Amino acid sequence: MFLLTAGFLLAVAAPRAWAASFPTAAPAAPAAGITRIDPTFWWVGMKNPKLQLLVHGPGIAGSRAELASYPGVTLDGTQKLESPNYLLINLTISAAAQPGRLKLTFTGGKAKLKYDYELRARSTDKSRVQGINSTDFIYFLMPDRFANGDLKNDVVKSTRVNHVARDSMYARHGGDYKGIEQHFDYLKSMGVTAIWPTPVTENDMPRASYHGYALTDYYHSDPRYGTTAEYAQFVQKAHQNGLKVIHDVVLNHLGSYHYLFLDQPAKDWLNQWPKFTRSNYNSSALNDPYGAGHDRDRYNKGWFDTTMPDVNQSNPLVATYLIQNFIWWVEYTGLDGYRIDTYPYSDPKFLMDWGRALLDEYPQLGMFGEAWVGSTAQQAFFARNILPPVDGFKANLPGVLDFQANYAIQDALKEKGNVTKLYEALQGDWLYEDATRNVLFMDNHDMSRIYSVLGESLPRLKMGFAWLLTSRGIPQLYYGTEILMKNFASPDGLVRADFPGGFAGDKSNKFTAAGRTAPENEAFDYVSKLGTYRRSHPVLQTGRLMQFIPEQGIYTYFRYNEQGETVMVMLNSNPGEKTVDGTRFAERLTGYSAGTEVVSGAAIPDLKSFRVPGWSALVVELKK
């Protein structure tokens, strides 16, 4: 199950046999040029004045680096690594430094190398990074599978997959930033406020590169989506359209065609094993009071897959490299939040340092992690919680993807479902500092689509939509669920199919009402009605929640606030209609005399009893 979190189409051979997968250092050679410097540029005015530059070039370690005088910037020293092709330069950029170009020279080889390193002005717009919180409604999509808006970037000849093959689930299909931009209005019509694409950084792997979870360059957009500059423009255009952007990131591993793997700075930049060793995929090893050190190491340092080298974040140089990269993306693009893939697999101390560094620079930044675990306590362990530290680890991540609620909604909506699971999933919220920062979802790219799980029952799916958009937390909708896209998780990858209408030649265009079937329009309209209602009613965003223990297969809860707004929700998991006595809910109904059913607009003149049709949700705005 856990292997799916980074994409289930990854069991492909590494670029070389395992015995040779850790190349020895190349022989020393005179500096012939600088291939790159990471970060690619930086900014003045950062709270942390320290900057670590990783210089890459043939034999660059044999050179002496010097910095021409620049007011406010000092060269603290350089550091060689095991590979002769890397050199670290440590700088201090004081608050007095101004934007400009640092003049770096490298001497000692056959030629004197010069490099102008750019320092930019940091943005002064405090509202540029908006954050992600419970006022948002997230739409999660795979850019390659959503819509193709720019045919010119479908084929990039320099990449290992330089063709489009829409008949293959392993291949690229051509979706891109422009395709998403062309459907901003579609997203807003559902009340969506934030877009979460799967990782957009370069993934130049020879197979299944479309999902992005085996990155091959930390600092560049995948050119098949658009240039790095076009990604920054995409974020800006989203903001101009009232939409936030969540950047999906992988801390734990990189792709086996990443330059840091193909030409490793040092052996301790990756977690090495005598032979290929997978993670045991069991986070219980981290906080088991009786656990073995071997199991903890296997979990954190084992590789996620053969094509995903595990990054050694306990190395402070590696930790700094990663932290700087994720600060870089925020400052460069103005993105609003991070979703962290395989969050628990990373080194625990690094996770604390990473989170602290980002929030120091951007206190408003939204962050939630994937913690695909089996219990509420284990899930809460990886978010801000009331628990004591374990082996020095105390999570500072604001929220997590709520897999416990996901298990519960799937159980509740099945034909003989148990809505008590929903009650129990939220009952454990006392473990969190603030459970409203958790992200609710019914399905995603790693699991069977909810419509198929429910036997393609539209009434029960609509119950799920009602729960998603009225319960506590941040709702997330997987692309196409609103138009009844289906299929089960399998090696064929059909849960990641193209959105119909997003590509030239599609037989139908599901982005339009005319292109959708009657059931598809019913589903879409239901989401739109509740989504836009949620967007305009703070009670469903930030209101308190009170839930009642389910009885006779009916789960009832209320969202309410100090402004006098109250919404009552009843989920009937029975096939037949039920009449519910309203007197049980007096502590929330007192003061109200009537209500309006939100989706249908039907008046509810009496709150003493409620008739709830079978397999349906009743969402009622109460009136005084």
Flag whether pLDDT at 595 surpasses 80.
yes
Flag whether pLDDT at 3 surpasses 90.
no
Flag whether pLDDT at 11 surpasses 70.
no
Residue 301 DSSP code: H
Strand partners, 278: 303
Strand partners, 622: 595
Confidence (pLDDT) at 209: 95
DSSP state letters, 316-350: HHHHHHHHHHHHHHHHHH---EEEEETGGGS-HHH
Residue 305 catalytic?
A: no
Please identify which residue in the block is written with the tokens 């700088």: 91
Q: Distances from the Cα of 316 to the Cαs of 268, 313, 348, 371, in angstroms?
A: 10, 7, 13, 24
The whole-angstrom separation of Cα 256 and Cα 309 is: 6
Residue 181 catalytic?
A: no
Flag whether pLDDT at 27 surpasses 70.
no
Q: Distances from the Cα of 437 to the Cαs of 414, 440, 565, in angstroms?
A: 27, 9, 21
Model confidence pLDDT, tens digit, residues 58-71: 999 999 999 999 99
Question: Quick one: angle between helices 518-536 and 458-470, nearest 10?
Answer: 10
Among the residue ranges 205-209, 213-217, 353-357, 547-551, the one predicted with the least confidence is: 205-209
Helix (H) or strand (E) holding 53: strand 50-56
Model confidence pLDDT, tens digit, residues 135-163: 999 999 999 999 999 999 999 999 999 99
- Mean pLDDT score, 450-464: 98
Model confidence pLDDT, tens digit, residues 232-242: 999 999 999 99
Residue 361 DSSP code: H
Helix H, strand E, coil C: the string for 503-530 is CCCCCCCCCCHHHCCHHHHHHHHHHHHH
Confidence (pLDDT) at 25: 37
Model confidence pLDDT, tens digit, residues 254-287: 999 999 999 999 999 999 999 999 999 999 999 9
Flag whether pLDDT at 29 surpasses 70.
no
3-state secondary structure of 106: strand
Question: Quick one: angle between helices 403-413 and 420-427, nearest 10?
Answer: 170
Flag whether pLDDT at 8 surpasses 50.
no
Confidence (pLDDT) at 572: 98
Confidence (pLDDT) at 492: 84
Model confidence pLDDT, tens digit, residues 536-594: 999 999 999 999 999 999 999 999 999 999 999 999 999 999 999 999 999 999 999 99
Confidence (pLDDT) at 19: 33
pLDDT band at 491 (very low <50, low <70, confident <90, very high): confident
Confidence (pLDDT) at 17: 33
Flag whether pLDDT at 379 surpasses 90.
yes
Question: Quick one: angle between helices 316-333 and 228-240, nearest 10?
Answer: 50
pLDDT band at 32 (very low <50, low <70, confident <90, very high): low
Domains of the chain by start residue, with CATH = 544-623 (2.60.40.1180)
pLDDT band at 499 (very low <50, low <70, confident <90, very high): very high
pLDDT band at 13 (very low <50, low <70, confident <90, very high): very low
Q: Which amino acid is at 550?
A: P
- Mean pLDDT score, 42-66: 96
The whole-angstrom separation of Cα 181 and Cα 183 is: 5
pLDDT band at 490 (very low <50, low <70, confident <90, very high): confident
pLDDT band at 387 (very low <50, low <70, confident <90, very high): very high
Flag whether pLDDT at 291 surpasses 70.
yes
3-state secondary structure of 586: helix
CB atoms within 10 A of CB 601: 8
552 class by beta-carbon count within 10 Å (0-12 exposed, 13-18 middle, 19+ buried) = exposed
Q: Dihedrals φ, ψ of 335, to 5°?
A: -60, 160
Bin 238: left if φ > 0, else alpha if -120 < ψ < 50, else beta. alpha
Q: Active-site residue among 370, 402, 429, 443? A: 370
Flag whether pLDDT at 110 surpasses 90.
no
Residue pair 191/476 in contact by the 8 Å Cβ criterion: no
Helix (H) or strand (E) holding 478: strand 474-478
Token digits of residue 329:
């993306």
Instruction: Return all residues near 328 (Cβ < 8 A) that are at least 6 apart.
Output: 39, 40, 42, 219
Residue 164 DSSP code: -
The whole-angstrom separation of Cα 175 and Cα 226 is: 10
Flag whether pLDDT at 394 surpasses 60.
yes
Q: Active-site residue among 341, 353, 446, 621? A: 341
